[in-house]
Structure 1
Amino acid sequence: MIEFIFEIFGEVLLQLIAEILANVGGQALNRRQDEPVNPWLAAFGYTIFGLIAGGISLLIFPHHFIHTAVARLLNLVLMPVGIGFLLALVASWRSDSASGSAWHRFTCAYLFALSMAAVRYIYTTSA
């Protein structure tokens, strides 16, 4: 049971760190522009960043932290929703214009985490 908790914690930590790095990069790019970012373009960008982060994470951690197939599938489905809610909560807590709306933050965080988790899931189940 304790091993399972460490497995989940490792996946959460990996996705949170990658999401925070992508968020910092996205905000840095947004500050350079005078007009707001198109939400569809931001969603596409976060999806691409998630795919790239998933590939990079496989170079660093080639084996999935979660070892059972059912738990990996649950991770693929539930983790992006949890990460999205967590970052939407942070956006509403910050409540400044730099963080964007909570819904926009949820969507971008969800797409980033989903694409990153999908890369890791597909690679580790096919390997």
Structure 2
Amino acid sequence: MEWLVEVIVELLAEFVLALVLEFGGRVLLAPFRGEPSPWVSSLGYLVLGAILGGLSLWLMPHSFLHQPALRGLNLLVTPFAVGATMGWMGQWRAKKGLRVLRMDRFAHGYLMALSLGLVRYFWAG
């Protein structure tokens, strides 16, 4: 039963990081009017996810998941969950008539969470 708590804590930690990125990104990107190409944005979200993964290692150097199979499963499931959540937030924002950033799309949320998860997967003790 302890492994279930570990999975839930790891999933929640990545969701919190994605939400912090969502709101922080809006504040940081507000002054810029033009958006770069989707490829440049994708690369940017990969790099940003890796940076956030490195920062998360500084704050939480050990993985919540200790079993290798669960860590691998988390690396597969969590980026999809984060991407789906970000896509849902983008749809919600579009319905409200609010500006939709690239982070509000499945692919960019997925890429950010995947790179964050990969950093934690390989370097978290």
TM-score in terms of structure 2 length: 0.86
Displacement of 1:101 in angstroms is 6.9
Q: Deviations over 1:70-97 (max 9, x none)?
A: 0100111111011101111121122145
Matches of 2:21 and 2:101, distance apart in 1: 15
Alignment check: 8 A CA contact 1:53 1:116 kept: yes
Larger displacement relative to structure 2 (36-45 or 85-94): 36-45
Letter in 2 for 1:81: F
Map of 1:60-71 to 2, 5 A cutoff? 60-71=59-70
Q: Which structure 1 residue ranges, 5 or more long, are not aligned?
A: none
Q: 1:117 aligns to what SS in structure 2? A: helix
TM-score in terms of structure 1 length: 0.85
Alignment check: 8 A CA contact 1:66 1:72 kept: yes
2:119 is aligned to 119
1:99 is aligned to 100
Alignment check: 8 A CA contact 1:92 1:101 kept: no
Larger displacement relative to structure 2 (106-115 or 11-20): 11-20
Q: How many residues are matched? A: 123
Matches of 2:77 and 2:108, distance apart in 1: 16
Q: Which structure 2 residue ranges, 5 or more long, are not aligned?
A: none
Q: State the identity %.
A: 33
Matches of 1:81 and 1:74, distance apart in 2: 11
Letter in 2 for 1:29: L
